[in-house]
């Protein structure tokens, strides 16, 4: 009986030490860029998909300026024409691509994408990229139907 009690105490101590702590990736948290794209719209022109919107946020907040924006990250997912999620359903954006270069001019967001041309219905969301690992909050979700390749 005494060995069982000691064994249970030992198991309790081991579980106590292994069970405490925060589960998270071993990386520094991303620095938040204070700029967000709002009123995001998508339009298909020829082989290009054009994304437009407005950039909101305070310059000088956390030391960032609009000129610090170095590109954007485009999150997207594609559905067939028959199996669409409902309008209020959450959407998993399984893929993203970083677009480097000037995407903001005078608080207007503009981005041309030439690689999104498979038939289907796309849901798209963007985040602005700043210096280093800084990234802004996500934009609103936009839906576009691409019928031709």
Domains, the chain, in order of start with CATH, read 30-146 (2.60.40.10)
H or E element, residue 121: strand 120-129
pLDDT in tens, 2-15: 677 777 666 666 66
pLDDT of residue 13: 66
pLDDT of residue 138: 92
pLDDT of residue 148: 72
CA-nearest of 103, 83, 99 to 91 is 83
Q: Work out whether strand 95-100 and strand 71-79 pair parallel, antiparallel, or are unpaired.
A: antiparallel
Retrieve residue 134's tokens. 């800084």
Rounded CA-CA distance 39/109 in Å is 10
**Which stretches of the chain score pLDDT less than 70?**
2, 8-31, 60-63, 149
pLDDT of residue 51: 94
pTM of structure: 0.74
Q: What is the dihedral of CA 138, 52, 58, 91, to 10 degrees?
A: -10
pLDDT of residue 19: 54
């Amino acid at each position: 009986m005494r060995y069982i009690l000691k064994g249970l105490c030992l198991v309790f101590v081991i579980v106590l030490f292994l069970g405490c702590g925060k589960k998270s990736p071993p990386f520094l948290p991303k620095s938040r860029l204070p700029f967000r794209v709002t009123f995001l719209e998508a339009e298909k022109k020829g082989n290009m998909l054009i994304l437009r919107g407005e950039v909101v946020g305070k310059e000088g907040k956390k030391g960032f300026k609009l000129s610090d924006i170095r590109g954007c990250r485009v999150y997207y997912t594609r559905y067939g024409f028959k199996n669409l999620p409902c309008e209020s359903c959450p959407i998993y954006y399984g893929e993203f691509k970083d677009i480097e270069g000037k995407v903001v001019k005078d608080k207007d967001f503009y981005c041309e994408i030439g690689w999104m041309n498979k038939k289907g219905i796309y849901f798209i969301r963007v985040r602005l990229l700043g210096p280093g690992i800084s990234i802004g909050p996500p934009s609103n979700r936009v839906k576009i139907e691409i019928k031709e390749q």
